[in-house]
Amino acid sequence: MNTTTDPFQERSEAAVKDKKLRANFLSAMNGLMEKRDLAFDDKTQLEALRILGAQVRQNSLVKLPELLVELETKLIQKGVQVHWAQTPTEAVDIIQSITLKEKATKIIKGKSMVSEEIHLNDKMEQIGVECLESDLGEYIVQLAKETPSHIVMPAIHKNTAEIADLLHEKTGIERKEDALYMTEQARLQLRQNFMEADIGLSGVNFAVAETGTLCLVENEGNGRLTTTVPKTHIAIMGIEKVVEKLEDTAPLLSLLTRSATGQPITTYFNMISGPRKEDELDGPESVHLVLLDHGRTQMYQDDELLDTLRCIRCAACMNHCPVYTRIGGHAYGFTYPGPIGKILMPHLEGLDETQSLPTASSLCGACAEVCPVKIPIPDLLVRLREEANHPNAQSSNVKGAGVKRRGMEPVIWSMWRWWHQGGTRYRLMTTTLSRLRFLQPGTLSPWTNTRTLPKLAKKTFHQQMNARAKK
Amino acid sequence: MPVHHFIPDDSLVDSLSDDLSSPLKLYPSKPKKVYVFGTCLVDLFYPEAGMSGVLLLEHAGVEVLFPQDQTCCGQPAYTSGYKEEARSVALAQMSLFNEEYPIVVPSGSCGGMMKMHYPRLFEGTEYDQQAQEFSERIYELTDFLVHVCDLPLVDQGEQTKIALHTSCSSRREMKTTDSGKALLKQLKNVNLVEPEKVTECCGFGGAFSVRHPEISNAMVKDKLDHLSNTKADTFLSSDCGCLMNIKGAAEKDKSALTLRSGEHLLSFVARRVGLIEGGSE
Ligand code: SF4
């Protein structure tokens, strides 16, 4: 078995040893699990809603190409400029050229995981444009020069004391471990940024094809400000976020907020349908939408892997994942951590770059049990493990397939097959093993670093059953 | 607002309805004979658990058949992404249980593999139908004892406090978590306690525990703490993988331990009702 250390292994080992980090995550995830549980107190209703949610998402995926065209048409009719990007680089180029055209130097951002996916902040900085995060969690993470460690709560890895230190050091405000005070101070700083920014950039939770509406779910009001105060608004989304009808958003919204934070509904649900009209008092003068592929069409082409695209980014799978709880989001080393990250990142970055992710799961199934749109995450993990061992990589459309088809592993598994395929040889081997049990090694690392080895039985079950049959 | 209809996708609806249909799980009436699938871990490490299962079945008046050529359900290869290898081994197993009797398995995890994953493994192959029919005959052993055998248990042991570890596969695949409890509740001198975070994985996951030992270790340590905190005399599991993992951690770290190191639920039950002798293995 391959146990050489890779970057994921190193990072996760370090994370497991970081006691403070583990305590932060454990308590945060415990809280989130409890809240979700309370929000879904009627299990039958939850189940019915999950079925509906999964159907709504599946329905829009089945019709994805048509719905995207319809969305584009509707948005253009309403004056939104629609851009298509196949790769992160293309998406960045589009945003950079809008910025240059608008002669913008400052972008205020609402929360957007897709912008993290394309590493927008760094890329904009390279051309001298400043991106300022306005979501409180993102703002904290940005001050710390880090990336989000959770897709809904980006700064969840930090406790109040750490945040108080950070705000004091970076912004000079008085150090008080008081969430309300800190929020108030941050808000004052952010207000200024909203007024000064030339462009507001946001993500999209659902895009409705029927009406050409971009929906944005948020709690802090920063999303509303981002999309209305600056004179230009750029929205960015993965192509899978489209839904067919306006009414589709109702079950999804309900599932999203309750799965994510246990809220029955969020404070804000923004529905954006174009730039300011002539007789309107506010709103941006121009609105752009960037539609990003980045490996998504690769999933789209496969009946099974397609299920990944149902995801509504609620993070319930992370909150309930025993692995995520113990290593936190940064250890994964990619934009999307946790169970969804393990099945999504291999498509975005290729299996060769992400080969440890699908293996880093005990397949316990907690993620699939809570997923509001019923994504069979463990099955997809097994599928991706298979893709990593793909004997003929050319016949797979998963980027990086076959990366593990080398070394001793395939040999070991064919030996294993040979051993377990025939009853006689199997019994011969197992009987010999149990006879030679006195030779059994006492240690077998890494198993025995923290556990004892189970002792081989004196007589195998087969032998005992055989002896009985003969009596 | 007009109601609109989705594209009907039967396969999706079927797969989506799994959770809802599970309470309606169907059981056969008590058969004369059953097959036992021993599993490779039982075979090599915990034969006592297998024997206990057999004795309990016989105690219920059911004759046990044990095809000697059985080996492993194929799960290790399957979850490692070696589907071809898993398929060959699974196929060898499927050819051994030819009579119509139910096949009972003393492990939620191997049971889950044979019940839930064999049909997937052979989907679209010439063995599709065979795998489907085979999987319908698979039962987890404790579940079978409770729901099919209606086994009367007379507790002969002393007063004891027991913590039960329920495995993820019995919870989420086989949906048999309550069966172990139901068996133990019949034992009048057994005080069953539930550890905190009972639904959380123990961190075994087969190759996962070897590939990612640090994470797995953090998980099993926490599991052990929760079990120890119950102040139970020992803990039980009806899954050999979990048992190997938690027991191994408990024996390594004796200082953290307030409970005896654990055993298979079937061995415990068989001992309590006098079918096997001796103390904990
Ligand atoms: S995979 Fe499911 S649970 Fe995880 S973020 Fe996506 S929708 Fe939520």
A367-414 residue pLDDT tens? 999 999 999 999 999 999 999 999 888 889 899 999 988 888 899 999
The confidence band for B256, taking pLDDT boundaries of 50, 70 and 90, is: low
pLDDT digits (tens, 9 = 90+) for A109-135: 999 999 999 999 999 999 999 999 999
Beta strands B160-165 and A286-292 are unpaired
Between chains, do B69 and A459 touch, taking CB under 8 Å as contact?
A: no
Quick one: A12 exposed, middle or buried, by C-beta within 10 A (0-12, 13-18, 19+)? buried
pLDDT grade, residue A4 (50/70/90)? very low
With the C-alpha atoms ordered B100, B102, B106, B112, is the resulting torsion angle positive or negative? positive
Task: For chain A, say whether B214 makes contact (Cβ under 8 Å).
Answer: yes
Which H or E element spans position B263? Answer: strand B260-264
Contact between B239 and B109 (Cβ < 8 Å): yes
Atom 8 of ligand 1 has which residue's CA nearest to it? Answer: A314
B225-250: average pLDDT: 93
Q: B256 touching A, CB under 8 A?
A: no
Among the listed residues A371, A397, A398, the one whose alpha carbon sits nearest the alpha carbon of residue A57: A371
Identify the pLDDT of residue B278: 72
CB contact under 8 A, B79 and A416: no
How many other CB atoms are there within 10 angstroms of residue A406's CB atom?
9
Does the C-beta of A32 come closer than 6 Å to ligand 1?
no
Question: What average pLDDT score do residues B210-218 get?
Answer: 95
SS3 call for A470: helix
In whole angstroms, give the CA distance from residue A188 to residue A130: 19
Report percent pLDDT > 70 for chain A: 99
Cβ contacts of A12 on chain B, cutoff 8 Å = 212, 214-215
Residues sharing a CB contact under 8 Å with residue A287, sequence separation 6 or more, in sequence order: A79, A80, A81, A232, A233, A234, A235, A272, A274, A275
The pairs formed by A99-104 with CB atoms below 8 angstroms and a separation of 24 or more are: A99/A124, A99/A127, A99/A129, A99/A199, A100/A127, A102/A198, A102/A199, A102/A231, A102/A232, A103/A198, A104/A129, A104/A198, A104/A199, A104/A232
Ligand 1 in reach of A401 Cβ (< 6 A): no
Ligand 1 centre distance from Cα of residue B4 (Å): 25
In Å, how far is A77's CA from the nearest CA of chain B?
23
Residue B7 has pLDDT above 90, yes or no: no
- Show residues of chain B in contact with A366, CB under 8 Å: 168, 172, 199-201
Q: What is the pLDDT of residues A403-460, one digit of tens each?
A: 988 888 899 999 999 999 999 999 999 999 999 998 888 888 888 888 989 999 999 9
How near does any CA of chain A get to the CA of B219, in Å?
A: 7
CA distances from A397 to A298, A386, B257 (A): 7, 13, 50
| A206 Cα: distance to centroid of ligand 1 (angstroms) | 14
B160 touches chain A (CB under 8 A): no
pLDDT band with cut points at 50, 70 and 90 for residue B217: very high
Select the residue of B45, B215, B251 nearest A327 (Cβ to Cβ): B215
pLDDT tens per residue, range A209-253:
999 999 999 999 999 999 999 999 999 999 999 999 999 999 999
Q: Which residues of A116-147 are buried (b: 16+ CB within 10 A; e: fewer)?
A: bbbebbebbeeeebebbbbbbbbbbbbbbeeb
Buried b (16+ CB within 10 A) or exposed e, A59-74: bbbbbbeebbebbbeb
Helix, strand, coil content of chain B in percent (nearest 5) = 50, 10, 40
CB atoms B16 and A446 under 8 Å: no
Find the closest chain B residue to A47 by CA distance: B20
CB contact under 8 A, B172 and A465: no
User: What is the total residue count of chain A?
Assistant: 471
Mean pLDDT of B198-218: 95
- Tell me how far the alpha carbon of residue A368 lies from the centroid of ligand 1, in angstroms: 8
Question: Among A403, A420, A434, A452, which would you mutate to test the B interface (most chain B Cβ atoms within 10 Å of its Cβ)?
Answer: A420
Strands lying side by side in the sheet with A213-218: A242-243, A206-208, A213-218, A268-272
- A364 and B205 within 8 Å at the Cβ level: the answer is yes
Question: Are A451 and B19 a contacting pair at CB < 8 A?
Answer: no
**Partners of residue A268 on adjacent β-strands:** A218
Protein residue with its CA nearest to atom 7 in ligand 1 = A311
Report pLDDT for B1.
35
Rounded to an integer, the average pLDDT of B177-196 is 95
Here the ipTM equals 0.93
Give me the pLDDT at residue A405, please. 84
Q: B71, A13: Cβ pair inside 8 Å? A: no
**Residue-level pLDDT at B152:** 85
Which amino acid does the sequence have at A95?
I
The Cα–Cα gap between A48 and A26 comes to 30
* Selected residues 258-277 of chain B with any CB under 8 Å from a CB in chain A: none
Q: How far is CA A453 from CA A30, A94, A432, in A?
A: 32, 58, 18
- Pocket probe mutation, ligand 1, options A371, A374, A380, max atoms within 8 Å of Cβ: A371
**Reported pTM:** 0.94
The CA radius of gyration of chain A, in Å to the nearest whole number, is 26
With bands split at pLDDT 50, 70 and 90, how would you rate the model's confidence at A6?
confident
Q: Which residue has the tokens 């795998």?
A: B131
CA pair distance A158, A137, nearest whole angstrom: 10
A381 lines ligand 1 (CB under 6 A): no
Tens-place pLDDT, residues A258-308: 999 999 999 999 999 999 999 998 899 999 999 999 999 999 999 999 999
A314 Cβ closer than 6 Å to some ligand 1 atom: yes
Output the residue whose Cα is nearest ligand 1's atom 6. A311
Name the token pair of B200.
Answer: 């959380």
Q: What percent of chain B stands above pLDDT 70?
A: 88
The whole-angstrom separation of Cα A238 and Cα A114 is 7
Q: Are A198 and A252 in contact (CB under 8 A)?
A: no
Q: Do A413 and B252 make contact, defined as CB atoms within 8 angstroms?
A: no
Categorize the per-residue pLDDT at B257 as very low, low, confident or very high, splitting at 50, 70 and 90: low
Determine the pLDDT at residue B258. 56
Pick from A17, A249, A363 the residue to mutate for testing the B interface (most B CBs within 10 Å). A363
Alpha carbon A101 to chain centroid, angstroms: 33
Cβ–ligand 1 distance for A150 under 6 Å, the answer no
Contacts of A413 (CB under 8 A, 6+ apart): B77, B80, B82, B85
Q: Which helix (H) or strand (E) holds B108?
A: helix B108-112
* The pLDDT of residue B279: 56
From the list B46, B211, B221, which residue is nearest A1 (CB)?
A: B211
As given in the structure block, the two tokens for residue A169 are 């050091």
Cis-peptide, bond into residue A446, ω within 30° of zero:
yes
Q: For ligand 1, is residue A108 a contact (CB within 6 Å)?
A: no
B209 alpha carbon – ligand 1 mean position (Å): 25
Shortest alpha-carbon distance between residue B99 and chain A (Å): 18
Whole-angstrom Cα distance, residue B237 to residue A245? 48
Q: Which helix (H) or strand (E) holds A200?
A: strand A199-202
Ligand 1, closest atom to CA A370?
A: 3
Q: What amino acid occupies position B259?
A: L
Say whether A368 and B211 touch across the interface (CB within 8 A). Answer: no
In this predicted model, what pLDDT tens digit does every residue of B100-154 receive, in sequence order? 999 999 999 999 999 999 999 999 999 999 999 999 999 999 999 999 998 889 9
Contact between B66 and B38 under an 8 Å Cβ cutoff? The reply is: yes
* Amino acid present at A456: L
